[in-house]
Structure 1
C-alpha cells in the first residue's frame, strides 16, 4: 500500500501537469488573439486609407489598382499544381474593398458558358499568387458580368466546372484544325458550346 507522502507527491505532480497544460492553452489563446487583432487592425487601416485615398476609377466602372495585365512585360502563366490547371487572365485588380479580382475581356456582346468556366479556372490558378475572391467578364459592349461563384473554395470551383475543364484539356491536347470527338452533340448545342463545328 503506497505511503501518504507518495500519494501527496503524485497528486502534486498531476496538479503541476494540469497547470502547465492550462498555461500552454492560455498562451495559445493569447497568440491567436494577438494575431486576430493584428489582422483586424491591418484591415481597418487599409479601409481607412482607401476611404480617404481611394483607388482611381477604372474604365470598367469600379475602383481598383492594376496588379497584373496579360499584355504587360510581366505577363506570366499562373499554374496551380494542386488542381492541375493553368491560366493567363487578361487583368488582375485589387479592388477598393481590398479584394482581388480577376477580369476576362471578351469582344463579343454576350456571355457563354465557356467564358464563365475560363474565368473560374483562372481564379483558381491566380490564387497561387493573389488571394482572388472576385471575378468578372467584360463584354465588347462595356457590360460587366460579375461571377457570383468567385468566392467559392478552389476545390468547389473545380468540382463545379469539372466537365468544362476536361473538355478544354482534350481540345488543348489535340493538333490544330483537328476534329474533336463529342458524343453528346445535341447537349453541346443546347449549351451553346463554342467548339461546335469542330466536333464530329
Structure 2
C-alpha cells in the first residue's frame, strides 16, 4: 500500500517537473512583450472603431474584445487591457479583463488564461485570473444587466455619472429610456 502511495507521489512530482520543463522550453521561443513578460502574441485588437466582439462564449453567452492575448507558457495565457489614461486602474478595468477571460473560455485557439495584466500610462497591475466558473458567478448580476441593456429593455440601474453613461457603447440603445434623467 505504501509503495503505491509513494509511486503516486513520485508520479505527481514528475508531472509537475515535466510541466515546468515545458514552460521553460516554451519561454525560450517567446519574445519580450512591452508589459514585462515573455510571450507569443495570439491576438491584438487593432480595430478600435469596429463594434462587436472578437471572442464569444456560447456557454456563458458573453462576448468581449481584450486589447491583447499572449501565450506565456505551456497551456497558459495572459490577457492584457491597455488604458490610455495616466492615473488609476479601476475596478471596472479589472471587470472588463475578467469578462474577457470568460468570453475566451471555450476558444480552442486560446490557452487557459492564468494572468491578467492591466496597464495605463504610469502603472501596471498583474492579477491571477479566476476560473471561468468563478468569474461567471462573480459577475452574474452585471452580465444580466448588460444583456437587458443590449436587448433594449428598460433598466433602472445605471451609472449615475453622466460622462460614464454617455460613453457607454450601448448609450444609443438606452438613450430613449434615460434621456429625461441626464
Whether TM-score is above 0.5 comes out as: yes
Match of 2:114 in 1: 133
CA distance in 2, matches of 1:39, 1:194: 48
Q: Deviations over 1:50-100 (max 9, x none)?
A: 56x26222111222111111228xxx7211111111112111012257631
Contact kept, 8 Å, 1:60 with 1:142, in 2: the verdict is: no
Closer/same/farther in 2, CA of residues 153 and 50 from structure 1, 3 Å limit: closer
Equivalent in 62, 66, 71 of residue 46 of structure 2: 71
Matched, 1:43 2:19: yes
Contact kept, 8 Å, 2:79 with 2:101, in 1: the verdict is: yes
Q: Which runs of 4+ in 1 moved over 6 A?
A: 35-38
Structure with the greater alpha carbon radius of gyration: 1
Match of 1:8 in 2: none
| Bigger helix fraction | 1
Matched, 1:194 2:164: yes
Matched, 1:154 2:132: yes
Aligned-CA RMSD value: 3.6
| Bigger strand fraction | 2
Q: Across the two proteins, how many residue pairs are aligned to each other?
A: 156
TM-score by length of 2: 0.65
Structure 2 portions without partners, runs of 5+: 48-52, 172-177
